[in-house]
Every structure is written in structure tokens, then in C-alpha cells.
Amino acid sequence: MKSKHLLFLCTGNYYRSRFAELLFNHLPPRHGLSWFAGSRGLALELGAHNVGPIAADTIAGLAARGISLEGKTRSPLALIEADLVAADHIVALKQAEHFPLIQHHFPRWVERVEFWHVHDRDFALPKDTLADIERNVLELIGRLEVKEPFTPAITRAR
């Protein structure tokens, strides 16, 4: 069976989208899904002061869930249209933050994006943000397990 590609988007591809990607890729084998997640950033230049290839809070949150980063670290990657073309399902982590960026840079893709409402550090503590991402990822896996069809421009209320 061919693996399907899930794409998580956030601003800097440093914290939230990386956590979602790595958590998702850790969980599906337990659920028998043939999906693989990747992640990209919509505005890497806004993370100019980020230290290292991935947020320390992301590393700690994954470790607390028993997920090793061995061999899985990389620098943040900017979104290009080829990433969108290759994706079977696209999730942006915060509608208020990411909708305008997608609309500006990739307007013809807006209708294919599922928007969540996961706050960054400016509105939530990392433990709350990561728990929110985890809940959303588990809910998404549940939908993928029952093969719920994707409805364009879905907005999740979490």
C-alpha cells in the first residue's frame, strides 16, 4: 500500500509543526495507518532568533512521550509549492496566524488546508501547546483510521 503524505505547517517550522510531525510519525504504526508526516514553515525569517535546529520545548515534549529524536533533527524548512502538491492532507497549526500567510503566498491552496487553533508561546505555555497538538493529532489519526473524507477549508474548534 502506498503511503499518503500529511503536511503540517506553522510559521517557523521550529516548534509546533515539528512536534506535530514527529508525534504523528511515532503514532501511526500503532494504528496501522499508511501515512507519513512532514512539516514546513510559512515564514522562517520570523524565527531569526531561534537557537538550534528545533525548539528545546519540542525536544522535551517528545522525550516526555518517549519519542527519541535520534537521527531526526534537521534545520527548519520553508514551504514551497511542490510540498503542497505532494501532500494528501495539509494542516496549518493556527488559523489566525497561518491563513493570511497561506493566502498571500499560496492563495490557490487555502481551500485544501485544515486549520487548527494551536497557540504559540505568545498566548500559551509550551506544556499546554504541546498537549493541544497531541489532542489534535490523535483526533486526526482517529479520522484517518475511519477514512473520513477530507472536506476542504475545515476549521477545527480546538
**pTM for this model (two decimals):** 0.89
Kindly state the average pLDDT of the residues 8-30.
Answer: 91
Of the two residues 151 and 35, the one the predictor is more confident about is: 35
List of domains in the chain: 11-145 (3.40.50.2300)
Per-residue pLDDT reduced to its tens digit, 95-149:
999 999 999 999 999 999 999 999 988 898 989 999 999 999 999 998 887 765 4
Say if residues 110 and 99 touch (Cβ distance below 8 Å).
Answer: yes
Contacts of 5 (CB under 8 A, 6+ apart): 35, 36, 37, 38, 86, 87, 88, 89
Kindly state the average pLDDT of the residues 13-22.
Answer: 96
> What pLDDT score was predicted for residue 157?
46
126-145 and 56-64 helices, crossing angle to 10°: 60
